[in-house]
């Protein structure tokens, strides 16, 4: 088998770079025109629906876009290394004055460092709520508060109607105290839509598989899926997630 020459390696790198750039452009079109952002989903579908392409949403495609971008930079660096002599000779002919060459090269290096560091230094600008989303959030939040108040009133009414049994007053008082503690704890659990099942399982020291069983989520669903996404698919509420976590914590004691 003949060894790969430098010329063949250059051609292979150029072909891979061309394919990566084509993939970057295609993914950019997918993110921009197919997996549209939430504000445009409200206008097109009337609600913030989940959009996926080949099983991945726009954020997952964005991660692939980032990885391909880094790969393209690596290939470009290799391309420059293999053509270094030609680039230096061409640069000398283009800028005969060494001072200007140093200035241009220094400017390129400074701009490259700024571009590389800017994503880690920039802060987002917080604007007004996106049209349609704030109203939907208030409606859902109000419904959850109303449901929670009804459940609390029903529980309090049940406790008021139960008369203590002779000889078991101490046990009844202990159960009531445990229930009150649990209700108090349920109101302060910090559960967000962006939390994953795996994060909550680690945060509250419970089993992710048991959480899925109680919430009727298939075990094949990844522990890294966000609650906000899967709750719309499997129809559970954040209140049910709280109850599930508290029940599993009580069970483990």
**C-alpha angle with apex 216: 213 to 219, nearest 5 degrees?**
55
Domain boundaries, the chain: 6-118, 181-253
Sign of CA dihedral 19, 24, 25, 31: positive
Q: How far apart are CA 199 and CA 208, in angstroms?
A: 9
As beta bridge partners, residue 53 has 56
pLDDT in tens, the chain (253 residues): 677 888 889 899 999 999 999 999 999 999 999 998 877 877 777 777 788 888 888 999 999 999 999 999 999 999 999 999 999 999 899 999 989 999 999 999 999 999 989 988 888 777 655 444 444 444 444 444 445 455 555 555 554 544 444 444 555 565 555 555 544 444 457 787 778 888 888 888 888 888 888 888 888 888 888 887 888 788 888 888 888 888 888 877 6
List alpha helices for the chain, DSSP H. 6-29, 38-45, 58-82, 84-94, 98-121, 133-161, 169-186, 197-203, 208-214, 227-234, 238-252
Supply the DSSP symbol for 162: P
**The tokens of 158 are what?**
């049940």
- The b/e string for 179-207 (b: 16+ C-beta within 10 A; e otherwise) is eeeeeeeeeeeeeeeebbbebbbeeeebe
Rg (CA), the chain: 29
Residue owning tokens 């939390």: 195
Cβ atoms within 10 Å, residue 246: 18
Compute φ and ψ for 236, nearest 5 degrees: -105, 165
Q: How far apart are CA 22 and CA 63, in angstroms?
A: 16
Q: How far apart are CA 139 and CA 147, in angstroms?
A: 12
**The tokens of 4 are what?**
């790969």
Q: Torsion angle, CA of 105/108/109/110, rounded to 10 degrees?
A: 120
- pTM of the full structure: 0.53
Residue owning tokens 């949403």: 57
């Amino acid at each position: 088998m003949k060894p790969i020459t430098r010329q063949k390696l250059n051609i292979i790198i150029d072909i891979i770079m061309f394919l990566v750039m084509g993939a970057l452009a295609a993914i950019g079109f997918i993110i921009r025109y197919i997996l549209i952002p939430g504000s445009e989903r409200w206008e097109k579908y009337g609600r913030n629906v989940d959009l996926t392409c080949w099983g991945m949403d726009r954020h997952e495609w964005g991660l692939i876009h980032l990885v391909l971008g880094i790969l393209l930079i690596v290939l470009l660096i290799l391309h420059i290394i293999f053509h270094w002599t030609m680039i230096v000779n061409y640069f000398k002919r283009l800028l005969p004055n060494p001072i200007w060459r140093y200035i241009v090269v220094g400017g390129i290096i400074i701009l490259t460092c700024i571009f590389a560091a800017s994503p880690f230094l920039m802060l987002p600008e917080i604007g007004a709520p996106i049209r349609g989303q704030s109203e939907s959030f208030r409606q859902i939040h109000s419904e959850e508060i109303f449901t929670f108040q009804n459940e609390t009133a029903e529980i309090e009414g049940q406790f008021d109607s139960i008369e203590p049994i002779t000889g078991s007053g101490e046990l009844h008082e202990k159960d009531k105290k445990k229930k009150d503690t649990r209700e108090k704890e349920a109101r302060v659990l910090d559960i967000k839509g962006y939390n994953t099942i795996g994060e909550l399982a680690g945060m509250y020291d419970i089993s992710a598989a048991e959480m899925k069983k109680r919430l009727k989520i298939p075990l094949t669903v990844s522990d890294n899926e966000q609650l906000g996404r899967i709750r719309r698919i499997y129809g559970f509420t954040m209140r049910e997630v709280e109850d599930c976590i508290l029940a599993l914590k009580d069970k483990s004691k």
